Amino acid sequence: MKDYFKRLTTDSKKWELVLWWIIRIAMIAGAVETFVHHDKYEDKIRTMMIGNFFLTFGWEIFQLFPERHMFRHLPSYTQNFTSIYIFLTAFMGAYINFYYKVWWWDTTLHFVSGGLLVLCGYVFMKAYEERDNIELPIAVVIFAAFCTSFMFGTLWECWEFSFDQMNMHAAQYGDTQHWSLEYAHLYGPDKLNHLIFQPWFDKNMPQWQARFALMDTMTDTVANSLGALIGVAVLKLSLLKKEKAQKIAMRERRKAEAEEKVKETVK
């Protein structure tokens, strides 16, 4: 365990530790309030705050894994992104209720997560390379990063659907997919991200109300996909630029070695 704690401090920066604990303290404070004022918050908010609090320890948990495990080689900065994203979703989105108060909040986070998950996929592949001391082709790394984003985006929508199904008969039924017109009318349908793809429709139209439940899932999916495509484009340009710089450096090194051999031959 001594080596474990030493690894946590040497493999991460001080400002990262401060950032993580600021977010954790905020999550703890929010979770406590949901219990103190239990009549003000739904059960799912309490569950989300507690569950996401433990998720902010992901990197520290991975450092407990044996060295042969890929996740052991993940860099500390991955937890910077995940912790901030957890804060924006669980704390700001669910606890502060930005998901209903700010109509574009959910879609924006799904868009950002599409690109963020591409980065996660890339980091996974780099951890795999570091563990096995190999170098994968850029095309393989990019494809794996893209698939990672789509996989997690799809799994999240499956989770939302499953959560709503399991809580269908509860007094405060699940509405993670924002399918409920009843909940929407409490805050105003214009507060939801459904309007991004159908802003001009009359909300009293039967067709609009019939498609209301579908729009959140499809809006999230499209936002995830767009974020992933942009993330892949940025990743590809970055890797190609890095590869080009490496080739130039290698060419210069070989040129310098060749000149050195010529000098030695002349001598």
Residues 162 and 75 in one domain: no
Question: Is residue 113 domain-shared with residue 216, that is, in the same domain?
Answer: yes
Residues 193 and 259 in one domain: yes
Domain that holds residue 38: 1-96
| Residue 118: Cβ within 10 Å count | 27
3-state secondary structure 160-180: HHHHHHHCCCCCCCCCCCCCC
Residue 89 dihedral angles phi and psi, to the nearest 5°: -85, -60
Residues 73 and 51 in one domain: yes
pTM here is 0.81
Among the candidates 61, 78, 96, a domain finishes at: 96
Please state the φ and ψ torsions of residue 72, each to the nearest 5 degrees: -65, -25
CA distance 27 to 203: 36
79-120 confidence digits (pLDDT tens)? 999 999 999 999 999 899 888 788 788 889 999 999 999 999
Residue finishing a domain among 70, 96, 122 = 96
Q: pLDDT tens digits, residue range 36-83?
A: 988 888 777 888 899 999 999 999 999 999 988 989 999 999 999 999
Residues 90 and 105 in one domain: no
Measured in whole angstroms, the distance separating CA 186 from the mean position of its chain's CA atoms is: 29
Q: In whole angstroms, how large is the CA radius of gyration of the chain?
A: 24
Q: Are residues 112 and 231 in the same domain?
A: yes
User: Is residue 92 domain-shared with residue 127, that is, in the same domain?
Assistant: no
Long-range CB contacts (< 8 A, 24+ apart) of 5-12?
7/63, 8/60, 8/63, 11/63, 11/75, 11/76, 12/59, 12/76
Contact status, residue 141 vs residue 231, Cβ threshold 8 Å: no
Pair (127, 26) in one structural domain: no
Is the distance from CB of 193 to CB of 106 less than 8 angstroms?
A: yes
Domain boundary among 77, 96, 115: 96
- What pLDDT score was predicted for residue 50? 93
Looking at residue 157, its pLDDT comes to: 87
Q: How many domains does the chain have?
A: 2
Same domain, 70 and 178: no
